[in-house]
Amino acid sequence: MGVSGGSGGSQVLTMDTLVRLGRGLRAPGTPRRLAVPEGMTVPLGCDAVGVPVQLSRELVSRLPRVGCVYADDTHWWWIVPADSDYALEWPRPAQYATGAVVPDAPVVPFLVHRAEGTLPYTPPIPLYLALCRLTGTTPNWSRPVSSAG
């Protein structure tokens, strides 16, 4: 699906382009990028999901696999493949950080858990479902669809 890029122009904007443009509109802060540990690769790119500390401790036991996790005073940041927010609305109070750039962090969060192997990722779907369960949020695909237009 594409959207025409202007008045009479032939440029077509894909959904991928629109998502990336929308991300660029987010408010600036003091961004800090999470550095993947040496020896790890990120073939799928790298984003992060920030979860308050209290919920994060509960999440660990509910996940089949935990990737690299970073922490600051208020959040744990879970490394997930890039675009893990595509068609997903992560439940509040989670924060999604594109490019693993943590907004408004006074310091760079420190590594509290290193993934086994060479991939830093926590699988995003189990993380999403566990977070939905802890927050009492219905996953996107389970919500009723309205036919009202």
Give residue 68's pLDDT: 97
Residue 25, burial from CB neighbour count under 10 angstroms (0-12, 13-18, 19+):
exposed
Contact 21, 14 (CB under 8 A): no
Greater confidence, 10 or 77? 77
Contact 107, 70 (CB under 8 A): no
Give residue 1's pLDDT: 46
* Cβ-Cβ contacts under 8 Å for 18 (sequence gap 6 or more): 3
Confidence of residue 147 (pLDDT cuts 50, 70, 90): low
The pTM assigned to this predicted structure is 0.75
Confidence of residue 63 (pLDDT cuts 50, 70, 90): very high
Q: Residue 140 in 3-state DSSP?
A: helix
Give residue 143's pLDDT: 63
Residue 82, burial from CB neighbour count under 10 angstroms (0-12, 13-18, 19+):
middle
